[in-house]
Structure 1
Amino acid sequence: MKTSDFNFELPEELIAQTPLERRDSSRLLTLDKNTGAVGHHHFYDLPDFLRPGDCLVLNDSRVLPARLIGHRPTGGTCEVLLLVDRGEGCWECLVRPGKKLRTGAQIIFGQGQLTATIERELEDGKRLVQFHYQGIFLEILEELGKMPLPPYIKAELENQERYQTVYSKVVGSAAAPTAGLHFTPELLDNIQEMGVKVCYVTLHVGLGTFRPVKAEDIRDHEMHSEFCMISQETADIINETKRNGGRVICVGTTSCRTIESFAAEDGTMTQRSGWTNIFIYPGYRFKVLDALVTNFHLPQSTLIMLVSALAGREHVLNAYQEAVKEKYRFFSFGDAMFIS
């Protein structure tokens, strides 16, 4: 199967640059995975498509304000993007300008409450960076850091909380699990009141999620690894839902990849944590997931391949074509799909 099989034409003006004022007022395209039938709704209509006894699986990872703007002692502006915490204030990072930030280079952030030294150069242009500070690093990041928005978003984000889900809790992602951005506390309450269970997993989204598939044959693509966790409480809810004939509905590809990574062959779940590089594409047999809430994804990305594994490539591309025709908003701050 070729990467080009997952391409589609997207007018640039349909790439959402800012979030809507009201989270759940985004549009919702429904897709029947068996017939390919499409419907047009709004996200606040989601309860109409859920049933008592279903469970929603949400990713409670919180985005780290991981983009730091600083300057060198000589005055030149530079940018550091935190990728992997190596412990003791040491991080694997991307830096700009790379030519100026070689081993031993110093960087100053803010009024000097945070400084850094480039410890060494790594592969792929990355740097190992040692940070120096007094106090709690995460609190300093909240003050100085900016959200690492995807490269296709050019607008500045006025309210940083709009790139967090309302239920985000465990800090560690380099990008938001964006399917969850549509939920409000009130909508979640309504869903639970109708008898749908809500449970949480954690998968810390890496920047590799934006990395294009360069291999001609998708089977030659190497997935990035991401850390994820599932609690015993969530495992129990999923197992009970399956036993009772309810549907397990993942919110986002990250929640899907977490439960599919940790499920036994018979679909049962237990408490687990670890790294996953699972790559789900057409031909994959889902062990747990029955339905998916997701955003519209980039052409030729691993994410559109995952949704195609669930609903079939032709059904998905037809739905995307319909979304383009109806001028849906695409990508992180865009509209949503419910595939069932």
Structure 2
Amino acid sequence: MSTTLFSLAFGVGTQNRQGAWLEVFYAQPLLKPSAELVDAVTPILGYTGGNQALAMTKLQAADISSALKNIDPVQAALLTRLAESQKPLVATLLVDDSALNSTPEAYLKLHLLSHRLAKPHALNLSGIFPLLPNVAWTNKGAVDLAELPECQLEARLKGDLLEVSSVDKFPKMTDYVVPSGVRIADSARIRLGAYVGEGTTVMHEGFINFNAGTEGPGMIEGRVSAGVFVGKGSDLGGGCSTMGTLSGGGNIIISIGEGCLIGANAGVGIPLGDRNTVESGLYITAGTKVSLLDEQNELVRVVKARDLAGQPDLLFRRNSQTGAVECKTNKTAIELNAALHAHN
């Protein structure tokens, strides 16, 4: 009987002196690989089932390359290159999308997101933080923090400099994958595990966290936090903060619909429907009291912002005289009222 896998990837990475994984680079991760490919690979690796990250020798890499030559030439070519590696190799096999068990598994799922093989919140990332070691990201790669002082000294003694660009659990995405059709002004502000859609431009102050991103095309000038997925044609103004929420029972995604505009220093804590506008400086949380206005700017009803989540064609603004948060819609207030009552 053929073996089916949720994901499979062959990687090269960095271990500390105790043999613990610090990071893994997967050049060509696979989502739902063919049964023929899996059946050719698993006997060589000695795979026995379940989610596993298996150390792979250069000889195994060469054997897998030969086995895949007529099945998947792209993966075969990759394995040929890996067989020449001077760094440790790993094959990570996921039979299902369950909670993470190892650092190579965590890196595989982050790669699936940044390679656009899965969208934010489509993957189970439970337990990821303890499995991602906090390391020094340097011009020579990942360095264990306990080993950093000695590495810095060794570099100086050789007349070299070990430059530490950050100390974090997450590396920058562009050190692992650069998605097609994007512009990124400051790559240090995009974490591995970000989903950056085709046609996305991220300006200098833009930031995209892991398990978050943009459908594209669109302009990101503010912060896209974990749990936020921005729709096509949206513009997040400079300094805006669109905050997703992480709760103990699981992740809640804050989606931003197509064609939205979130002004400078503005932000939302609710999902937005298509073509919503939030004026500059206005932050909307789920519990914000919002005054619904009709086409004559007359008050119809006061609701909580969460009641407007996902509704299209809304304009959120703050009344300059009263300070009240107001909402106007291209639809009649009666239609909106009917939708709200139906939702409740």
Please report the TM-score for the alignment, with normalisation by the length of structure 1: 0.26
Q: Answer 1 or 2: which has greater helix percent.
A: 1
Higher RCO by CA contacts (8 Å cutoff, separation 6 or greater): 1
Q: Which has the larger radius of gyration?
A: 2
